[in-house]
Amino acid sequence: MLTNIKAVLFDLDGTLIDSAPDLGAAADQLRVNKGLPPLGLSLYRPHTGTGARGMLKVAFQMEPDHPEFTDLKEAFFVNYEQNLVVRTAPFEGVQELIESLNARGLEWGIVTNKSERFTTPIVRKIPLLSLAKTVISGDTTSHAKPHPAPIFEAMKRMGFNPQDCVYIGDDERDIVAGKAAGVKTIAAGYGYLGDARDIVKWGADINIYSPLDLLKWLPES
């Protein structure tokens, strides 16, 4: 058990919410606009954690150095912005997890690399997320994960020290950022792992495979 933990910090996509359906749909809309058939969610899902870069690579085999990448990325963002929570929802078990954290007197916040342009409306539209003590987006600080700055900012706003906190995410950069910030780290093996299926290699303090697995590692009160 992680003793003396007072706050839990979460990554957003792939950890608290399943946003793959809406992100994949935004990319497929680009294909449809170009007269190409949609690819479907199953191809996009594993790469959701890499954002626009991953979605455009799946949709068009396009890398960031492609001359059309910047324009297509913004078109992707516009598509996504118009349909942020059509099919996006908390993962199964997250509602109960958050209720249990509240019952145990543990505060919680969100630290994501998603830009505020998307994070703020998503948090506003999903009531459960609006209960977060703080929300740090990818552009809240001058650095995004794997830099520890966003986690430091979350702790500062919540009034906690590294020894008080644990950070959970579904990408290796989450674990890198958490370790650099001096907090305990948990790898979410149920998220968007892409090609990195062996989360044990990330070196997190704990690995879990469903949201509710987290509870057995946290103080009861």
Residue 19: phi and psi, rounded to 5, are -100, 0
Catalytic: which of 11, 18, 22, 174? 11
Is residue 11 annotated as a catalytic residue, yes or no?
yes
- What single letter denotes the amino acid at residue 63? E
Cα separation of 115 and 137, whole Å? 5
Widest Cα–Cα separation across the chain: 56
- Residue 96: count of CB within 10 angstroms of its CB: 13
Is residue 205 annotated as a catalytic residue, yes or no?
no
Strands 89-90, 17-18: pairing is antiparallel
Query: Any residues with CB less than 8 A from the CB of 128 and at least 6 apart, and which?
Result: 90, 94, 95, 98
- Annotated active-site positions, please? 11, 13
